[in-house]
Structure 1
Amino acid sequence: MNLRKLLSHTVLAYPRTALVIAGLLSLLSVWVAIARLRFTSTHQALSSLSGRIGQVQERYNEAFGDPDQVVIVVEAADQEQAKRYAAVLAGRLEASADIEEVIYRFDLTSLEDHFLMYLTPQQLGDLRSKIEEHAALLNELSARPSVNRLFQLIHREISSALVGRLFTGFLGEEEEGEVKRPVELQPLIALLTQLEAWASGPRSYTSPWEQFMVEADENGDREGYLWSDNKQLLFVLATVRADTTSLIKFERPIHTIRQEIRSLQTRYPGVKAGVTGGPALEYDEVTAAQRDSGLMTAISLGGVALLVVLVFRSVFRPVMGLIALVMGVCWAFGFAAVTVGHLNMMSMVLAPMLIGIGMDYGIHLAARYEEERGAGHTVHESLEQAFEGAGPGILHAAITTSVGLFALLLTGVSVLQELGLITGCGLLLTLVSTFVVLPPLLLLWDKRPGMDSSAGRAVAAVEGHTIEVKIGEAHFPLPHLPKPPDFMEFWYRRPRTVLLLSAIATLAALYAMNRIEFDGNVLHLQAEGTESVDWELKIIRQSERSTIYGAILAESLEEVRTKTNALEALPSVSKVESIAMLIPEDQERKLMLARELKPFLAGVDLAKLPRPEPVDLDELLNTLQRIKAKMLTAEDAEKWTGKEKPPIEQMARVRRLVDQFERRLQQRGSAEVRRRLTVFQDKLFDDFYDKMSLLDRAVTSGPVQLDDIPNDLKKQFVGRDGSYLIRVYPRGDPWEFASQTTFVRELRTVDPDAVGDPVKGYEVISAMKQGYQQVGIYALIGVAVLFLVNLRDIRYFLLAKVPLLIGAIWIAGLMELFQLKFNLANLIIIPLIVAPGVENGLLIIHRFREEGEAAILPKSIGKGVALSSLTTMIGFGSLLIAHHRGASSIGLLVTLGVGAVLVVSVIVLPALLTVVARRPLKQAVLGSGFRAEHAPGYVEPSAQNMEQETIVNSKEK
């Protein structure tokens, strides 16, 4: 049974039944889509892996979990303020039910007694030299602690040239004042700075004993805070709870975090904070996509409706076509909800694509139907003739386009397979809705009383007038067919010139193909100004790190250390984190060196440490002035006899600090300054007691064991299965595909089973690039086979592929002209461009053959080709308003591509057909002297038309 008989025995025989069933199916599809369809982010869409790497990733997830963790970035000029802000924010977030865990620092108190194990043997040797050199000073301070005594001992050691490396070194000189060597005065400067600051008012205490005991922890690493490499950014890690029942599963936790950050702005005006990390990136992307999708659908549907109404100069028939299209789109979304269950940054173009391409089928069918009605056929006959004439071309075009999309199923990439399934089936569903819904609507509308008669005559179109066809008592306005613009007529009359210029343009576009670039950075797809993206980029710029990292699993500590050493030698690696950072190497040797410190601490009686003596300001000022007198001036430096120059600038600063303290003493008064310095002195010697006690415990402690590591820190690097995790941070931008490629390849030289987000990104992006290349090949092969089966003529086969092949080449030139790059989103143009290329070529060739190779094609096919391309451009053009830059790039590239195919279809292909037909342009003259061949899609009157009586009612526009 052919398409015409199938239509007559089903939808035309039972039009109301068909519409009721289609309507119920549409309502069911909408309900299913609302209940089940979700949006997913780019990261989630690209997260699936297969094969060996997928197995390792699964093992990693089982061992360490895959928590939904956001990164809150705190930026402040004052590190202490950043710490206070992080503590307050963490406390607030921990009280939220949407936050599982908050970490901004690790408690390292369990490792304090082992701090000597984290020093190098050289540092341990330096520490021994310091303690041995200053044993007398330590003993005297422990027996008589006070600020006065401390500065007296400093002055004494300066004078006796015994200070050596106290606080990493002061001056060394003979009693006569002869300077022997330059020294480092920064520790003394730090002590004087605090002394002067406390004299002016209470301040936060900073320990000077760190530099005496061991190298100063200037970076604050031993405090356990999560700083960036440059210490400009402090990180707060928050594990959030996803609401799987919500359309946007991270909405509540992200909203909670951002609300708390806003509430702290007035309390900490000098602090900036923002949220990034996987859940934040996903939330921002999904929110933007969801916000844009409704508007894009409305714009595409409204734009297509307006275009069709204006061109057909009628409202009812275009509205019927839109009703059929909307039903098909509803079916497609219901199908997507049942089969896939979600849309992502690429499949979010489903609605604009179906509206833009799916409307083509209704346009071609309605255009042919109006042509048949104009020829005097009844409604039923016109529908059958429309299906008989336009149906095969529409069907073949839809199947061929779907084959191009179904080729995505062969790529092996899940995100592309999902895209191919829902778009390919979606197009077929819109085709079904066109065949099942549109004919009953036209039949019921046009068969109303007084709207149908077997008698009638056809008319033609005259420029400047609306021509009506009278069939019985009914009047049917034909679509207005204006005279083509002069420039179009110019090209129609010069086919060889057209072919020459198109050949030149094609060669230029082929040259431009070599300059097309690919941008694999998924951050570039998101909306500009997105908070999570901006903070992610700031992390990368300021610390050469990111929130994502490579992951390598090891079975033993020895393997961890071996791989860590190899990884740190790689040029693309910025930093390596593992349990090896917490369990030092060569602990036996370090224990021996630590034991050698014990005798030098024997004279420090920490059990009987007395309270500090009262501060004597006069004595303190006298001691400081004596220290000041030993600081060389610039003139004294000229007499320097040592090999190295003295630290003149530091000496000058010591003098300035002593002078400032003296002025502060005069301004504040002795009583006030004494009270404040007493507080400072208590803190100073409480700290001295703590540091000496810590050192006493450290020299007798054992090696660091795995059980000594804090649990919250240990679980970061030791899995549930006992495996060890090595985190590898790339030096370059891990979101850039070029640096990502280098990083992953170098990572695999150490361990081929490396996983992590950069590896997943590299694998999926590489697979997608390869998949799209395969799609291009598969689509060309599939289209070629279908073309040959349908056309059965090599000449027509080649001609029908002209719009697709030449248009695809021209797209390359347009990309170079508009400085566009391919990305993960707009690569979808490869299968999508098949739709207009296939439809235009097939429909033009089908009608060309049907008209006996007439050089000028009938009006219905000309209007159909132009309208189908324009509706596709409007459908995808709606994506240009998207905040999501990936969706916007799809809209721009597909719009340009379909425009290129349209130009090839209406200019280049007719020129080729003119040459192939080898017939002169036929001329026919209608009333008022209008030349019929000037009308696009002119159709010669048939014998049947000539036998009918024509009744023309001419009306001025």
Structure 2
Amino acid sequence: MERTLGALAAHNHRRPVVALLCALLLSGVGLLCARNLTLNANLADLLPESFGSVQAIKTQEERFGALGWVVVVGEDADPEQLKRFAEDLAPRLEALPGIRYVEITRPSRFFSDHALYFLSPEDLKEVERRIDARLTWERQHANPLFVSLEDDPAPSLDFSDLEEKYGGGAVTRLSNNPNEYYLDPAARRVVVLAKPETSSSDLTFSRKIVDEVQGVLKQQDLSRYGPDFHTEITGTFQKKLDLQEQITRDVAVASSVAGVLVLLYLFLHFRSMPAVGLVLAPVGAGLAWTYGLVGVAYGQVNLLTAFLGAILGGLGVEHGIHLLGRYLNLRGEGMASEEATREAFTHTGGAALVSALVAAITFFVLGTSRLQAFREFGVIAGLGMLVLILAYVLVMPAVLGLAARHGWKPRKASTATVEAPLGRVIMRRRGVLTLVSALIVAGLVTQMPRLRFDYNVSSLEDESLGSFVLDRAVNQIIGYSQMPVVVLTDSREEEAAVVKELQERKQRLGADSKVDFVASLGSLVPPEQARKQVILKDLAKRLEAVPEGQLTAPQRERLTELRRQVAAPPFTAKDLPPGVRQQFEGRGQNGQGFVVVYPSVDQSDGQAMRKLAKEVRGVRLPDGQAAVVAGESLVLADILDLVSHEAPYILLGTTLAVLLAMWIALGGLRTALLCLTPTVVSLFALLGLMPLVNVEFNYLNIMVIPVLIGTTVDAGVHLVTRLASPGSDFVRVYSETGKAICGGLLTSAVGFGALFLADHPGLNSIGTLANLGFGMNLLIMLVTFPALLLLLSERKRRRRAVPSSSRREHLVDGGQGPHRPTPAS
């Protein structure tokens, strides 16, 4: 394998024009295929289409339509002006072709007038009994001949106990608010709810409808509502667009910053602009090929793969640092350009290929995840690592050959190896350094029990965006969540059965229930209205006889309200206010029912979302089949369950796959374990460090651990294979390879560290955790691992008494350190 790499590199060095033309052609095709790549940040698309929650979302969108709203918020005006704004805006929004209807008021008056129909006949009889008791008391005390033996108070006309009994029902939750409008006088804020035709997952439609709403607002003379009056837009549609724009902006910023930092580091590392170009040219070609494959295979990038350019760029530069660094050192020793290229790609290139294969296998294991973001990231990153090696073999030797033909020679400053003083220190203090390192790592490992997992789903959506913050304020004004869960039914009978079962579950769970209330069109029309009307007529007669003069002012108001309520006629679903009825009617309503379940918990609470999903799923219809339950809350719960379930298996699979690949590639289990040691030690140290620096795992950054396993093993491979070369000198190898290892890890850290600049909290946490991991691995690789190798070599020398071996190792150690750790060590 090494000889083949060397021969191929030497061939491209001899024929640079053909190799570069092939590279340019492939890059052109790659860029052409990648030109139409789009970003998809939709949560539902993170799961496979086979998932029930994903299929349910599609069914719900076909039948029910959009669950979310485009919400216009008017702010900083007097309540009357805010109401006038809502009334003026509503008809203009309803005229837009993509809007089904607009809501600006609650159905409070309608349900208040018909409130007694929602009481059971028995409770209505109780109302009648209390009124009779009060009338009897009044008649008795109005009689001058009546003498009360007890100074008993007047029977109360307070029905608060009955109001409390029905207070958690859908009718009360939908309408029980002192403000008829969706208005918060204290915050000087009014809410206008516009229901679009299509789901917010269609980002093209979302942009179109939000732009149209903004166009309507621009046409309004907002100054007539007050000098400080202004508007904002929030809701599901605006939140999706803001999240999309944020990630797009993060990609641009992170990629640009990563590119500049890598460029600066390469210049400081090699102190030569041609050397910078020699490293970056293959990386640029490899990224063009990789994104061409992405365009053909997927046609879009997701939350994670959008940043693969920065990540693969950083990882790819690491190979270039090792390869070009070795080439420059060989040229400094007097070797010709072609031979130096062959030698560099034979040994260092072989180590780079092993490292790339191991990293690719790691990514491919991550690609076995059923979570779309992880799977696509794993597959694309794995292919990208292999493509980058191919790009280096094709492009770098060709550029070197072309430069050599034109008389270019590396500067002496670039070819000279500066002895690292730390190498001598490690030789002299290897025992102390190993012991101190072991104690520090052991101390960090003791902190691992404090490691925590953050179940807040802000790693998937940025809850700090302005539209997200305003949306929470809107929920408080409305009084319930704007993103409910929908249970799809085919008849009113199924609808009633689902409502009954969900309400029973809520009662059984009590305080542990994650459901606020359950509503359906049928549940808003009470049964037995004819029977109740008879009771209400009797109540009306009794209420007319109640003497108002004996009542307090609040009691008189309550009496007036009761008289209005008992006079209300029965009603059907068609009599409900349009704003209420439309919430439970989908597209092409043909007797199909919908049960809407409103959560009582914040949807950023991942654990609560998982409990909500468990509570609402598995509802049985009268025929025994499970009802279809849809909602973004359930998609979110499935994502969280999937990550929690797969993480241990992916971590175990990654470790075993890396070990097996290194065993095969390096030719021995002991050598593979030795090369894997710094990665394992640094990971344990990282896990212990995280609680000390207040870093937690979340649903996105958990994927950093398998990535670190695959991307940090190459440092150990490079150091061990170089020390295993015949006649190697420890200090020289450490100085040369340590510089390359340091550069490789730093550029890898820059690739992931670019995510640290992202505003999105989940991506930011990936950058933070990855940089901690690379930093810890760098310390282990520069201090702990070399000291351990020296100790192992010294131990082997003592155990083996073969004269030739002892003499050879003595020659190396007699001023320069032990010979090398061999595969046998």
Q: Same fold (TM over 0.5)?
A: yes
Q: Is the 8 A contact 2:363 2:381 kept in 1?
A: yes
How far apart, CA to CA, are the structure 2 residues paired with 1:244 and 1:578? 23
Aligned-residue offset at 1:731: 2.4
Aligned-residue offset at 1:401: 0.3
Alignment of 1:455-604 (within 5 A): 476-479=412-415, 481-482=417-418, 484=420, 489-523=424-458, 526=461, 529-538=464-473, 545-554=480-489, 555=491, 556=493, 557-569=495-507, 570=509, 571=511, 572=513, 573-594=515-536, 596=538
Q: Secondary structure at the match of 2:293?
A: helix
Q: How big is each residue's C-alpha offset from its partner over 1:714-756, in whole Å with a ceiling of 9 and x where there is no partner?
A: 4543565744322222323222112223323333475676442
How far apart, CA to CA, are the structure 1 residues paired with 2:429 and 2:182? 72
Q: Secondary structure at the match of 1:729?
A: strand
How far apart, CA to CA, are the structure 2 residues paired with 1:234 and 1:543? 10
How far apart, CA to CA, are the structure 1 residues paired with 2:517 and 2:78? 25
Structure 2 residue corresponding to 1:445, chosen from 397, 403, 417: 403
Q: Secondary structure at the match of 1:551?
A: strand
Q: Is the 8 A contact 2:499 2:518 kept in 1?
A: no
Structure 1 residue corresponding to 2:702, chosen from 827, 839, 844: 827
Q: Secondary structure at the match of 1:734?
A: coil
Aligned-residue offset at 1:397: 0.6
- Percentage of matched positions with identical amino acids: 25
How far apart, CA to CA, are the structure 2 residues paired with 1:131 and 1:232? 41
How far apart, CA to CA, are the structure 2 residues paired with 1:353 and 1:180? 82
Q: Does 1:7 align with 2:8?
A: yes
Aligned-residue offset at 1:692: 9.0
Aligned-residue offset at 1:877: 2.0
Q: Is the 8 A contact 1:402 1:425 kept in 2?
A: yes
Aligned-residue offset at 1:392: 1.3
Q: Is the 8 A contact 2:173 2:479 kept in 1?
A: no
Q: Is the 8 A contact 2:74 2:232 kept in 1?
A: yes
Partner of 2:754: 878
Of residues 865-874 and 724-733 in structure 1, the stretch that sits farther from structure 2 once superposed is 724-733
How far apart, CA to CA, are the structure 2 residues paired with 1:289 and 1:766? 24
Q: Is the 8 A contact 1:248 1:287 kept in 2?
A: no
Shift in alpha-carbon separation, 1:13–1:260, aligned structure 2, 3 A = same
Aligned-residue offset at 1:111: 8.9
Q: Which amino acid aligns with 1:905?
A: M
Q: Is the 8 A contact 2:458 2:762 kept in 1?
A: no
Q: Which amino acid aligns with 1:117?
A: Y
How far apart, CA to CA, are the structure 1 residues paired with 2:201 and 2:71? 24
Aligned-residue offset at 1:303: 1.0
Partner of 1:756: 631
Q: Secondary structure at the match of 1:727?
A: strand
Structure 1 residue corresponding to 2:642, chosen from 767, 787, 795: 767
Structure 2 residue corresponding to 1:813, chosen from 677, 688, 708: 688
How far apart, CA to CA, are the structure 2 residues paired with 1:423 and 1:246? 27
Partner of 1:299: 257
Partner of 2:104: 104
Structure 2 residue corresponding to 1:431, chosen from 367, 370, 389: 389
Alignment of 1:180-579 (within 5 A): 181=153, 235-240=191-196, 250-255=206-211, 257=213, 264=222, 267-268=225-226, 274-448=232-406, 450-451=407-408, 476-479=412-415, 481-482=417-418, 484=420, 489-523=424-458, 526=461, 529-538=464-473, 545-554=480-489, 555=491, 556=493, 557-569=495-507, 570=509, 571=511, 572=513, 573-579=515-521
Q: How big is each residue's C-alpha offset from its partner over 1:501-528, in whole Å with a ceiling of 9 and x where there is no partner?
A: 2222322332322222222333355557
How far apart, CA to CA, are the structure 1 residues paired with 2:458 and 2:322? 41
Q: Secondary structure at the match of 1:390?
A: helix
Partner of 2:24: 23
Q: Is the 8 A contact 1:583 1:705 kept in 2?
A: yes
Q: Is the 8 A contact 2:113 2:564 kept in 1?
A: no
Aligned-residue offset at 1:332: 2.0
Partner of 1:903: 779
Q: Does 1:802 align with 2:664?
A: no
Q: Secondary structure at the match of 2:35?
A: helix
Q: Which amino acid aligns with 2:675?
A: A
Q: Is the 8 A contact 1:274 1:531 kept in 2?
A: no
Shift in alpha-carbon separation, 1:431–1:238, aligned structure 2, 3 A = farther
Q: Is the 8 A contact 1:305 1:319 kept in 2?
A: no
Aligned-residue offset at 1:370: 1.1
Q: Secondary structure at the match of 2:268?
A: helix
Aligned-residue offset at 1:489: 4.8
Structure 1 residue corresponding to 2:742, chosen from 846, 857, 866: 866
Q: Is the 8 A contact 2:7 2:342 kept in 1?
A: no
Q: How big is each residue's C-alpha offset from its partner over 1:580-619, in whole Å with a ceiling of 9 and x where there is no partner?
A: 432213334314324546878999xxxxxxxxxxxxxxxx
Shift in alpha-carbon separation, 1:247–1:328, aligned structure 2, 3 A = farther
TM-score (norm 1): 0.70
Of residues 503-512 and 46-55 in structure 1, the stretch that sits farther from structure 2 once superposed is 46-55
Aligned-residue offset at 1:25: 2.8
Shift in alpha-carbon separation, 1:849–1:429, aligned structure 2, 3 A = same
Q: Secondary structure at the match of 2:724?
A: helix
Q: Does 1:63 align with 2:1?
A: no
Q: How big is each residue's C-alpha offset from its partner over 1:182-227, in whole Å with a ceiling of 9 and x where there is no partner?
A: 69999xxxxxxxxxxxxxxxxxxxxxxxxxxxx9999667998668
Higher alpha-carbon Rg: 1
How far apart, CA to CA, are the structure 2 residues paired with 1:862 and 1:477? 17
Q: Which amino acid aligns with 1:763?
A: D
How far apart, CA to CA, are the structure 2 residues paired with 1:256 and 1:527? 25
Shift in alpha-carbon separation, 1:175–1:902, aligned structure 2, 3 A = farther
Shift in alpha-carbon separation, 1:382–1:577, aligned structure 2, 3 A = same
Which runs of 5 or more residues in structure 1 are unaligned? 135-156, 165-170, 187-214, 453-468, 470-474, 604-626, 632-645, 655-683, 926-930, 939-957
Shift in alpha-carbon separation, 1:821–1:272, aligned structure 2, 3 A = farther
Q: Secondary structure at the match of 1:577?
A: strand
Aligned-residue offset at 1:369: 1.2
How far apart, CA to CA, are the structure 2 residues paired with 1:321 and 1:382? 16
Partner of 1:89: 89
Aligned-residue offset at 1:275: 3.8
Shift in alpha-carbon separation, 1:85–1:492, aligned structure 2, 3 A = farther
Q: Secondary structure at the match of 1:437?
A: helix
Q: How many residues align?
A: 770
Shift in alpha-carbon separation, 1:869–1:74, aligned structure 2, 3 A = same
Partner of 2:768: 892
TM-score (norm 2): 0.80
Aligned-residue offset at 1:232: 10
Q: Is the 8 A contact 1:546 1:734 kept in 2?
A: no
How far apart, CA to CA, are the structure 2 residues paired with 1:808 and 1:259? 53
Shift in alpha-carbon separation, 1:816–1:259, aligned structure 2, 3 A = farther
How far apart, CA to CA, are the structure 2 residues paired with 1:923 and 1:10? 35
Aligned-residue offset at 1:17: 2.5
Aligned-residue offset at 1:833: 0.6
Aligned-residue offset at 1:315: 0.9
Q: Which amino acid aligns with 1:102?
A: V
Aligned-residue offset at 1:903: 1.2
Q: Is the 8 A contact 1:882 1:888 kept in 2?
A: yes
Aligned-residue offset at 1:922: 7.1
How far apart, CA to CA, are the structure 2 residues paired with 1:425 and 1:519? 31
Of residues 807-816 and 557-566 in structure 1, the stretch that sits farther from structure 2 once superposed is 557-566
Shift in alpha-carbon separation, 1:218–1:331, aligned structure 2, 3 A = closer
Whose helix fraction is larger, Structure 1's or Structure 2's?
A: 2
